[in-house]
Chains A and B, each alone.
Chain A
Amino acid sequence: MPDVLAVLEQRGGVVKRVSLETLAAARSLADDLECDVHGLLIGPPNTSAEGLGDYGADKILTSLDGELELYQASRYGQIAAEQATAGDYTAVVIAATALGKDLGPRIAARLGCTLASDVTSLSGSENIVVSRPAFSGKAIYKIKITCAPCVVSIRPNAFSPILTSHAGAVEEVSPGDGPRPSDARTVAVKEPQQAALDVAEASIVVSGGRGLREAEHFELVEELAQALGAAVGASRAVVDAGWRPHSEQVGQTGKTVSPNLYIALGISGAIQHLAGMRTAKVIVAVNKDPDAPIFKVADYGIVGDLFEVVPRLTEEIKRAKEG
């Protein structure tokens, strides 16, 4: 039976948490198909593949090289496609992160089979069947894939890591040829001065909208986010007004997020915003307008002036965390 290849992601040699989700998705597919999961880890020589067997990997292939610390699109694509062809695989699973969204299509193009991106569920029998959002979550496609090995990118936070003991034996594979002169090269990664959680990966997101009235008032959002260990998000209106960077925008022309908790402050809930956050597990809204559409999707709402409600909420959260 052909196996499932899970392409894992590292940063600075440490496997990212989202890769445990990739393994979980690959494992559930492999259990459907009664086959094995092989993880592929591309990174610098100090990359550790230890413990990945506990998350469902039967085998981990490591392709390590000093020049693979940063994401080098062409080489990563070549290595992944080579490994996918060297084994007998029915599917390649990758996380739909910034890296995965770039690498997934490269692997698929090289394998000559399709890519289903941002998948929220998958199953396998005769064919692989996936569900994936379209129109940024306003509708959901159920798609049967009729080629192999196909590439499936999974949406972060859609699959939970599962502890399930497998061998996880590590096998080194070739890091392939060095870069060709014609390759695009990642020459640097600029870290922001203040390390910020990314809105698409965070398990809690606190977002602000026009109800904050001024860019400076986003301090309220930041303080609550800090108390919760959350990422800061923003509505399109405040991004277009230049109050917040576009990287924080949640919605159809921004990021689609599925955190455990999404708190919307002063966001009315335009269709295109709801499309970006409606798959959050729990939604909280604070808005002074009781008829705001955001309350239609919110699990918990407070009607009121956010300038009064939010400081109190921050205070109560801090107290709850201490207690």
Chain B
Amino acid sequence: MKIAVCIKRVPDTETRIKIGADGKSIDESGVKFVLNPFDEYAVEEALKLKEQSGGEVVVVCLGTEASQETIRTALAMGADSGVLLKASTLPLDPLVVARALAAELEQGAFDMILFGKLAIDDYGQAVGTMVAELLGLPSVSAIIRLEVTDNRATAQREVEGALEVVDFSLPAVVTAEKGLNEPRYPALRGIMLAKKKPLEIKELDLDQGAMEVVELALPPERKAGRIVGEGPDAVPALVDALRNEAKVI
């Protein structure tokens, strides 16, 4: 089985966001970048599929030069090779990203293409499903379970208060939700091996698409609240405030 996993380099979840001097992007100084957490589930699932039915796992990343490090992380987990679609800046427009990835993936004759359900920086949750549409492939997003037998698969995805069960045929695209699996940590041996695995770099010239950033700002500070009191004796005052002041109960 030929499997592709699309990944992204993103600021770590513990990052305190500072706005950059242009007022349209974040200040990246001192920011620790990681493999997008949802992409870890996608990589893990790809590796499990390979263990189950053989084949190869190719990691595809659209990003800047520094994304090589992120690709190496996925290679250290066990992926076989990587492709960096190198861009000087990443457009915010998900369709531009999806088109660039689709153009690359189209040539690979992949049986299965996996994404994380969203990247924790842009938080768009669009690219994976758009790629499937552009390639005309069946797809299921935000899956928490996947079973593949030959060229058929069943996935489960969470919807508000229920689970959808979806059947589809391969080739297909899925995007991974937390809960799909427990991603493995790269072992030392994996990290050593990863350094020697093939990583191809392709230069891309991307337009910025149909989204123009007017500004990126921090959310308004919440107004300072108050400590109603200490211990259970403060409860009546809290309930009174919720009822008569905030009027939320």
**A residues neighboring B (CB under 8 Å):** 70-71, 73-74, 77, 97-99, 101-102, 104-106, 108-110, 112-118, 129, 132-147, 150, 181-192, 195-198, 200-201, 204, 228, 245-247, 249, 251-254, 256, 260-261, 270-272, 275, 278-279, 281-284, 290, 295-305, 308-309, 311-313, 316-317, 320-321
How many Å lie between the Cα of A176 and that of B142 in the bound state? 26
Assess the A98–B159 pair: CB atoms within 8 A: yes
Query: Are the CB atoms of A140 and B217 closer together than 8 Å?
Result: yes
Beta-carbon contact of B218 and A140 below 8 Å: yes
Complex-state Cα separation, A73 to B137, whole angstroms = 12
Asked whether B232 lies within 8 Å of A278 as measured between CB atoms, the reply is no
Q: Does B157 contact A (CB under 8 A)?
A: yes
The 10 sampled A-B contact pairs (Cβ below 8 Å) are A98-B157, A105-B126, A182-B138, A186-B165, A190-B163, A283-B225, A297-B222, A300-B238, A313-B235, A320-B239
Kindly list chain A residues whose C-beta atoms are within 8 Å of the C-beta of B165.
Answer: 186-190
CA distance A192 to B241 in the complex (A): 35
Determine the chain A residues whose CB is within 8 A of the CB of B157 once the complex forms: 98, 102
In whole angstroms, what is the CA distance A144 to B93 when docked? 11
Which residues of the partner chain A approach B15 to less than 8 Å between Cβ atoms? 135, 138, 271
**B120 and A253 within 8 A (CB):** yes
Query: 4 closest pairs, A vs B, by CB?
Result: A184-B168, A147-B210, A109-B133, A184-B138
Q: Is the CB of B122 within 8 A of A134?
A: yes
Whether A73 contacts B140 by the Cβ 8 Å rule is yes
Q: Could you tell me if B140 and A97 are in contact, using CB atoms closer than 8 angstroms?
A: no
* A-chain residues with CB within 8 Å of residue B159 when the two chains form the complex: 71, 97-99, 189
Cα A225 to Cα B234 with chains together (Å): 19
Q: Is B236 an interface residue (CB 8 A)?
A: yes
Asked if residues B179 and A143 are in contact (CB atoms below 8 Å), the reply is: no
Shortest CB–CB separation between residue B83 and chain A, in angstroms?
A: 22
Please indicate the chain A residues that have their CB under 8 angstroms from the CB of B92 in the complex. Answer: 141, 143
Q: When the two chains form their complex, are residues A104 and B239 in contact, meaning their CB atoms are under 8 A apart?
A: no
Give B77-104 interface residues, CB cut-off 8 Å to A.
92-95, 98
Contacting pair A272 B13 (CB below 8 A)? yes
Pair A316/B236 contact, Cβ less than 8 Å: yes
Q: Contact check: which of A74, A105, A185, A188 meets B94 at CB < 8 Å?
A: A105
CA distance A283 to B128 in the complex (A): 34
B64: CB under 8 A from chain A? no
Cβ–Cβ contact B210 & A98, under 8 A: no
A190-B165, A300-B226 known; A281 vs B248 contact (CB < 8 Å): yes
Q: How far is the CB of A291 from chain B (nearest CB, A)?
A: 11
Asked whether B225 lies within 8 Å of A109 as measured between CB atoms, the reply is no
Contact of B160 among A137, A146, A200, A313 (CB under 8 A): A200
Bound CA–CA A189/B26 (angstroms)? 41
| Chain B residues with CB under 8 A of A197 | 161
Is B146's CB within 8 Å of the partner chain A? no
B192 contacts the other chain (Cβ, under 8 Å)? no
Residue of B nearest to A137 (CB): B219
Asked if A108 and B249 make an inter-chain contact with CB atoms under 8 angstroms apart, the answer reads no
Taking A189-B159, A303-B227 as contacts, is the C-beta distance between A253 and B13 under 8 angstroms? yes
Structural contact, A189 and B11, CB atoms closer than 8 A: no
Chain B residues, CB < 8 A from A200: 160
Contacts of B222 in A (CB 8 A): 278, 283, 296-297, 299
Known: A190-B165, A247-B179, A295-B225. A317 touches B239 (CB 8 A): yes
Assuming the contacts A105-B94, A290-B227, asked whether A252 and B13 have C-beta atoms less than 8 A apart, the reply is yes
CB distance from B100 to the nearest CB of A (A): 13
| Interface 1/0 per residue, B210-247 and A, CB below 8 Å | 11111111110011011111111011101101110010
Are the CB atoms of B130 and A271 closer together than 8 Å? Answer: no
B169 smallest CB distance to A (angstroms): 6
A312 touches B98 (CB 8 A): no
CA distance A27 to B48 in the complex (A): 47
* Interchain CB contact under 8 A, A74 and B138: yes
Q: Is the CB of B242 within 8 A of A284?
A: yes
Mark interface residues in B1-43 (1 if CB within 8 Å of A CB, else 0).
0000000000101111101000000100000000001100000
B167:A184 contact, CB within 8 angstroms: yes
* In the complex, chain A residues whose CB is within 8 Å of the CB of B129: 102, 105-106, 109
A139 B216 Cβ-Cβ under 8 A: yes
Contacting A110 at CB < 8 Å: which of B133, B234, B242?
B133
Contact B139 A302 (CB under 8 A): no
Specify which of A77, A261, A270 is in contact with B248 (CB 8 Å cutoff): A261
Q: Which residues of A contact B55 (CB under 8 A)?
A: none
Instruction: Tell me which residues across on chain A come within 8 A of B93, comparing CB atoms.
Output: 114
* Given pairs A101-B125, A114-B95, A191-B161, 7 additional interface contacts (CB within 8 A): A146-B211, A196-B161, A246-B178, A261-B249, A302-B229, A303-B227, A317-B249
